[in-house]
Amino acid sequence: MDRVDGRLKVTGAAKYSAEMPAANMSYAVIAQSTVANGRITKIDTRNAHAVPGVIEILTHENAPKLPVPNVGRVLSLLQDTLVRYNGQPIALVIADTLEHATEAANRVKATYSSTKPVLEMKASDAYAPSQARGSKPDSLKGNVIAGLAKADVRVEHTYSTPFENHNPMEPHSTVVVPDGDKLTVYDATQYVIGDRDTIAKTFGLPPENVRLVSYFTGGGFGSKGSVWSHVPLAAMAARVVQRPVKLVLSRRQMFGPVGGRPETEQKVALGATRDGTLTAIRHESMSHTSRFEDFLEPAAMQTRILYESPNIETKHRLVKLDVGTPTYQRAPGHATGTYALESALDELAVALDMDPLALRLKNYAEKDPDSGHPWSSKSLRECYRVASEKFGWSKRIAKPGSMRDGNVMIGYGMATATYPTNRQKATAIVYLTEQSGKPHALVQTATQEIGTGTYTVMTQVAAAALGLPVEQVRFELGDSRMPPSPVSGGSMTAASTGSAVNDVCKEARRQLDAQVASGKSLAANPLTVTLDSAPGAERQQYSMHSFGAVFAEVRVDRDLGEIRVPRIVSAYGAGRILNAKLAHSQLVGGVVWGVGMALEEETIVDRRTGRYLNADLAEYHVPVNADIGQLDVSFVEEDDKFVNPIGVKGIGEIGITGVAAALANAVYNATGVRVRDLPITLDKVFVAKKGIA
């Protein structure tokens, strides 16, 4: 089924938050700090006020005091003089045009008292966080020291991933329309209800006084799952000037105030007997957070469940730096963690002189090694088989540098992909009426369309549950006046919202059948049904994860060190696939991002000032079409009767996992150079090899 919103998007009729119209619109632009820590000693707005069209300039000196300035996280809402990171909002200019507001914001000048910021992670500064995504930050099974001691072969290395930033096509954008003590907020968000609640609490308003609308979000990937400072600032501005305010972050402002993937340093130790049986696994991860909030990149979580071993230990540590708080970025923890773990597995395979795929199959976990629970379903063996056969893995030559095409060295690499299956409570409502003698359904819930196809798959789920053609079903989302749904994060929208839509529509169908049986027509007796759908005890009985296998080919120029990726083949077991076309797009997008993570993406921070040096798409490199070769993505059929009512596992994030490791392993197979610090750039290959032989 094609996207139900496809025509709206390709014709430009789909309105995103920044495009929502309002009479008498004003424009807000944030002025940012130029130091990474300290206090504002003076702020001068006189030259800024001289710009024509300036309506108001808010600073800590005149901004309204807020009842609850920090709801859930610490925001920068002009409440004091404290500066916590470079790029922090220190003033907000509201003007009649974007150009006037931008010019005035550039004229705001501040002086500071500041000290040298701490901007590099040191192990001596590391501490244990209170939790890791709802679990304990550390885990221990068996005796890892003893397991390593009895191993015939051991590998132990440190792998690092850099600070990365979100760069969705749509930057963060908010339009706020005031009406007395009420607000209508159009926001680019991944969490309509959470967004509404945060704004209401921040300003001491009842939730019903805030209407949050988000019909389309142009990419989120985690960056728009939280409310950042610009959203309450836009609401503050609208309340002060009592007219609509539009605030859209510039591309440069996407670096700093709205988070990014934290830097990690990961130590992995593996021990195995000569036949490849793992005797011990240790994975210790250190990542950075801000001075004022704990945010953890849980990079060792997949290591607890991915391979069987009697001895497994994981640890997570944090280091506070003078930066903005990091945030979720596609497959948080698992994207970075699979790079380290799966690279280490490849290094162990080399040390054992064993095929990397055979090593993984040798240590295949038939049940969850961490909890001991059976899997709700697991098709990883089949994923390995399907992807390896399509790729032609059997033709790989293990000795690095053995496969060549003239002056180009060819390498094959593989890795395992995984991501947990998540689900939260959601509520949906269905209105059944009769139109032209046929039943029609309107289904609503306050979920979000972040580009993944939620409008479409929810229409399909509803139609199937109601037993109606899709043409007789309309699905609506994106308005806080609708029943609540959870955040579109953790790959759980289909599982959470989809289950609610399925359950409410099945109940509506039951009531409709009963009504028809009693002789009542739908024309005279329309039906309205609301239903909650929430997880039960199944999570205490089963371990729930998606799995996949990634195989990659690289071609490395012998003279230039240039790395090209002609093809990647991957296969996934992800439960029921609701829409093959949309699912394929999701996985392809994840794999492309994995290429960027492996070879290109890195946020460069000035270690003296905390300033972002490549805060634009000219210098922060992401893959373009010319970087991507053939991508072959397939699904293994999987019927999971336990995971949720519609049997889906979620696919938004697994696609990026394992890709960076598969490419790193392929680069080693091509060149004999093991790059343990992402991104893998040609200079790292050359420096390690001192010229490629």
Are the C-beta atoms of 265 and 158 separated by less than 8 Å? Answer: yes
Per-residue pLDDT tens over the stretch 181-199: 999 999 999 999 999 999 9
Report pLDDT digits (tens) over 121-165.
999 999 999 999 889 999 999 999 999 999 999 999 999 999 999
Query: What are the boundaries of each domain within the chain?
Result: 371-423+538-693, 426-534
Note the helical H segments in 158-206.
Answer: 192-203
Specify whether the CB–CB gap between 600 and 26 falls below 8 A: no
What tens digit of pLDDT does each residue of 10-26 get?
Answer: 999 999 999 999 999 99
| Topology adopted by domain 371-423+538-693 | Aldehyde Oxidoreductase; domain 4 (3.30.365)
pLDDT band at residue 70 using 50, 70 and 90 as cut-offs: confident
Residue 678, SS3 per DSSP = coil
Q: What is the DSSP letter of 262?
A: P
Q: Amino acid identity of 453?
A: G
CA atoms within 13 A on the CB side of 371: 16
pLDDT band at 73 (very low <50, low <70, confident <90, very high): confident
Residues 537, 529: Cα–Cα separation, whole Å: 25
Please tell me the distance from the alpha carbon of residue 295 to that of residue 311, in angstroms, as a whole number.
28
Residue 69 pLDDT grade (very low, low, confident, very high; cuts 50, 70, 90):
confident
Separation CA 126–CA 262 (nearest Å): 14
**CA dist list (Å): 502 to 354, 444, 465, 509, 529:** 47, 12, 6, 11, 12
pLDDT in tens, 510-521: 999 999 999 999
Q: How confident is the model at residue 484 (pLDDT cuts 50, 70, 90)?
A: very high
pLDDT of residue 689: 62
578: left (phi over 0), alpha (psi -120 to 50) or beta: alpha
Which parts of 207-277 are beta strand (E)?
A: 210-213, 245-248, 264-272
| Backbone dihedral angles phi then psi of residue 337, each to the nearest 5 degrees | -70, -40
Contact 407, 465 (CB under 8 A): no
What strands, in cross-sheet order, belong to the sheet with 278-290?
139-141, 312-321, 278-290, 264-272, 153-161
- The Cα–Cα gap between 596 and 624 comes to 9
- For residue 691, pLDDT over 90 is answered with no
More confident residue, 69 or 217: 217
- Which residues contact residue 361 at a Cβ distance below 8 angstroms, ignoring those fewer than 6 apart? 381, 384
SS3 383: helix
Categorize the per-residue pLDDT at 449 as very low, low, confident or very high, splitting at 50, 70 and 90: very high
Q: What confidence tens digit (pLDDT) does each residue in 400-428 have? A: 999 999 999 999 999 999 999 999 999 99
End-to-end CA distance of the chain: 51
- Beta-bridged to residue 266, according to DSSP, are 159, 285
Measured CA to CA, the distance from residue 648 to residue 579 in angstroms comes to 11
Q: Are 210 and 227 in contact (CB under 8 A)?
A: no
Residue 68 confidence (pLDDT):
87
Helix (H, G, I), strand (E, B) or coil at 395: helix
Q: Are 571 and 634 in contact (CB under 8 A)?
A: yes
In this structure, are residues 221 and 330 in contact, taking their beta carbons and an 8 Å threshold?
A: yes
**Confidence check: pLDDT of 457 > 60:** yes
Alpha-carbon torsion (379, 383, 386, 388), positive or negative: negative
Token representation of residue 333:
């923890």
Tokens 């290109």 belong to 600
Which tokens belong to 482?
């609708």
Report which of 488, 457, 417, 420 is spatially closest to residue 582, judged by C-alpha positions.
457
Mean pLDDT, residues 631-648: 97
- As a whole number, the mean pLDDT across the chain is 97
- pLDDT (mean) for 287-307: 98
* Angle between the N-to-C axes of helices 454-466 and 493-517, in degrees from 0 to 180, rounded to the nearest 10: 30
- Give the per-residue pLDDT at 337: 98
pLDDT at 692 over 60: no
**Integer Cα distance of 369 and 304 in angstroms:** 7
Average pLDDT over residues 575-582: 97
Distance CA 70, CA 91 (A): 18
- Whole-number pLDDT of residue 688: 60
The answer to whether 371-423+538-693 and 426-534 have equal CATH topology is yes
Give residue 690's pLDDT: 59
Name every residue whose Cβ is closer than 8 Å to that of residue 686 and which is 6 or more positions away in sequence. Answer: 561, 692
What mean pLDDT comes out for the span 662-674?
97
Secondary structure of 510-532 as H, E, C letters: HHHHHHHHCCCCCCCCCEEEEEE
pLDDT tens-digit readout, 244-264:
999 999 999 999 999 999 999
Cis peptide bond prior to 679, omega within 30° of 0:
yes
**pLDDT value of position 345:** 98
| Angle, CA 90 vertex, CA 84 and CA 91 arms, to 5° | 165
Quick check: 435 pLDDT over 60?
yes
- 360 pLDDT above the threshold of 60: yes
CATH topology for 426-534? Aldehyde Oxidoreductase; domain 4 (3.30.365)
Q: How far apart are alpha carbons 592 and 598 in whole angstroms? A: 10
Q: Please, which residues bridge with residue 201 across strands?
A: none
Annotated catalytic, 471? no
Whether the CA torsion 569, 575, 579, 582 is positive or negative: it is negative
On the question of pLDDT at 693 being above 80, the answer is no
Q: Which residues pair with 440 in a beta bridge?
A: 433
Query: In terms of C-beta density within 10 A (0-12 exposed, 13-18 middle, 19 or more buried), how is residue 462 classed?
Result: buried
Mean pLDDT of 559-579: 96
Q: Where are the beta strands (DSSP E) in 153-201?
A: 153-161, 173-179, 182-187
pLDDT by residue (tens digit) across 330-348? 999 999 999 999 999 999 9
> How many angstroms separate the CA atoms of 574 and 582, rounded?
14
What's the average model confidence in pLDDT over 480-491? 97
Catalytic residue among 103, 313, 342, 653: 653
Helix 230-241 × helix 192-203 angle, to 10°: 50
CA–CA separation, 478 and 498 (whole Å): 15
H runs (alpha helix) in 334-453: 334-352, 356-362, 380-391
Q: What is the pLDDT of residue 370?
A: 97
> What proportion of the chain, given as a percentage, has pLDDT over 90?
97
